[in-house]
């Protein structure tokens, strides 16, 4: 699915921006993420949302880090699987990298506008908690990384939607709603690539990672990050 030029040229941070290609005034009500929720199998717990609202600068900084890491991970895949057999992967990931870098730039702009200085944040347990189950032989290793990528993108989408409903900063909420479209496409692209590169159904592997992912989201976590579990300090 090609990215529209519109999507890249629109400035969602402008005060009059509507953040969607279809120019609607309330994108939250127009984006249906039920397929994302069905894929994920569980919603973000309220306790995480409460902690996120109270610690928005951490969430914003970690979001910036996530955009950068998403671009970096996709770039690693592009270098690792560069041959004619992976032409579609190359093209889809090149588009994804372009979009993640745009998001990174936009989040940095949000931080500047909010007067929020850049701060170092260690990586949370989420991505590593899934990657430790990655198989070590090909093409299974690649398929697992793509499935994990699908979960990270899908969870991001679900959390942007949830955050946009509860934060006071309407401009930031609008930006989170704007992100839903591309992050949901990233999830679909990763899942599509995983299946297209496999010779058998990946359903069982997807279900396995759903269990791992849900445990990371629904168990106590000592750190607050964009993809962290249930805060154990409140
Ligand atoms: Fe992104
Ligand atoms: Fe993404």
Cα(229) to ligand 1 centroid in Å equals 20
> What spacing in Å lies between the alpha carbon of 35 and ligand 1's midpoint?
19
Using CA atoms, how far apart are residues 194 and 133, in angstroms rounded to an integer?
Answer: 16
Determine the pLDDT at residue 205.
Answer: 98
Which portions of the chain are predicted below pLDDT 70? 1-31
Record the tokens describing residue 9, joined without a space. Answer: 């040229």
* Domains of the chain listed by start with CATH number: 47-231 (1.20.1260.10)
The whole-number pLDDT of residue 164 equals 95
CA 100 / ligand 1 centre spacing (Å)? 4
The pTM of this model reads: 0.89
pLDDT tens for 123-138 read 999 999 999 999 999 9
How many Å from the N-terminal Cα to the C-terminal Cα in the chain? 42
Give the CA count within 13 Å in the CB-facing half-sphere of 139.
15
pLDDT at 13: 62
What pLDDT is recorded for position 7?
Answer: 38
- pLDDT reported for residue 233: 78
CA of 181 to the centre of ligand 1 (A): 10
Q: Any residues with CB less than 8 A from the CB of 216 and at least 6 apart, and which? A: 125, 126, 129, 130, 227, 229
Q: Using H for helix, E for strand and C for coil, what is the string for 48-100?
A: HHHHHHHCHHHHHHHHHHHHHHHHHHHHHHHHHCCCHHHHHHHHHHHHHHHHH
Q: Which residues surround ligand 2, an ion (CB under 5 A)?
A: 70, 153, 183, 186
**pLDDT on residue 32:** 79
């Amino acid at each position: 699915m090609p990215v529209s030029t519109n999507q890249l040229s629109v400035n969602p941070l402008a005060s009059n921006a509507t953040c969607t290609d279809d120019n609607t005034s309330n994108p939250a009500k127009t984006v249906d993420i039920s397929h994302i929720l069905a894929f994920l199998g569980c919603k973000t717990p309220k306790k995480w949302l409460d902690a996120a609202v109270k610690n928005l600068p951490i969430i914003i900084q970690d979001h910036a880090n996530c955009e950068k890491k998403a671009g970096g991970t996709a770039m690693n895949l592009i270098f690792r699987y560069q041959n004619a057999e992976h032409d579609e992967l190359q093209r889809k990931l090149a588009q994804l990298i372009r979009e993640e870098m745009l998001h990174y730039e936009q989040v940095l702009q949000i931080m500047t506008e909010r007067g929020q200085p850049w701060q170092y944040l260690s990586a949370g347990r989420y991505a590593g908690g899934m990657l430790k189950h990655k198989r070590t032989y090909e093409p299974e290793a690649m398929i697992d990384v793509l499935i994990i990528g699908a979960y990270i993108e899908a969870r991001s989408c679900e959390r942007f939607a949830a955050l946009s409903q509860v934060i006071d900063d309407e401009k930031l909420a609008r930006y989170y709603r704007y992100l839903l479209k591309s992050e949901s496409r990233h999830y679909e692209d990763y899942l599509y690539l995983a299946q297209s590169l496999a010779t058998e159904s990946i359903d069982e592997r997807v279900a396995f990672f759903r269990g791992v992912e849900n445990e990371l989201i629904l168990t106590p976590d000592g750190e607050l990050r964009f993809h962290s579990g249930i805060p154990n300090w409140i």
